[in-house]
Chain A
Amino acid sequence: GEDVEQSLFLSVREGDSSVINCTYTDSSSTYLYWYKQEPGAGLQLLTYIFSNMDMKQDQRLTVLLNKKDKHLSLRIADTQTGDSAIYFCAESLYNFNKFYFGSGTKLNVKP
């Protein structure tokens, strides 16, 4: 089945850039997503990228997609303490219905 993998933890200092990486196995992905989960809350969509794009920028967020290597990354510029959360990578396939989530990367931002 589909497999989405992420590293479990990342720790950065406030003001630095954070880069969260994700690999996936299914080449028929149509969209890839980053969701953010704050403590005690559900997941919220942060950003997404269509599979025919290489990059998407949205304010402090930059998403890079390497379709050949099936690698997705999320870069957060000028990371703030409020960015501390768990970040999930996810893919949806041509049939739309199911999402496949990674295990989540816990980002810790130190002041």
Chain B
Amino acid sequence: DAGVIQSPRHEVTEMGQEVTLRCKPISGHDYLFWYRQTMMRGLELLIYFNNNVPIDDSGMPEDRFSAKMPNASFSTLKIQPSEPRDSAVYFCASTTRRTGEGSYNEQFFGPGTRLTVL
């Protein structure tokens, strides 16, 4: 498997523009997470899905942010309109629940999208 795939790797946009970040999870994984990483706030969980259904979006900063998962192999995180304070690295991660002994959880992270909003 190629791992979690994110696109684009880098995005530079101007304030007010719409930004769409994309993620393809590892095949067979039924959990998908979106994180944001900044120097000031570290790694923040924005939202996560289970079987394509959003389970917890309490980390989404405000209504300008929205996330969808139309099928098991694709998710988007959209920011509209974007603001300079949205500049960060956005990570997508996926996992599946293990069962039985040694059922630790491992989240597999994509390489991230570095977003710069001017």
Where the two chains meet, the residues of A that have a C-beta atom closer than 8 Å to any C-beta of B are 31, 33, 40-45, 48, 50, 88, 92, 96-99, 101-104
Contact = CB atoms under 8 A, between A and B. Distances in A.
A42 B110 contact: yes
Nearest to A45: B106
Do most interface residues of chain B lie in helix, strand or loop, or is the interface mixed?
A: strand
Interface string B74-95: 0000000000000000010100
Given A97-B31, A99-B45, A103-B43, A31 B104 contact: yes
15 contacts: A31-B105, A33-B104, A41-B111, A41-B112, A42-B91, A42-B110, A43-B43, A43-B109, A45-B107, A48-B104, A88-B43, A97-B50, A97-B55, A98-B48, A98-B56
A42 B4 contact: yes
A92 B43 contact: no
Name, among B42, B43, B50, the residue most crowded by chain A CB atoms within 10 Å (CB to CB).
B43
Do most interface residues of chain A lie in helix, strand or loop, or is the interface mixed?
A: strand
B97 interface: yes
A97 B49 CA distance: 10
Nearest to B114: A40
Contacts of A104: 42-43
Contact of A103 (B42, B106, B111): B42
B106 A97 contact: no
Interface in B33-49: 33, 42-43, 45, 48
Contacts of A97: 31, 48, 50, 55-56
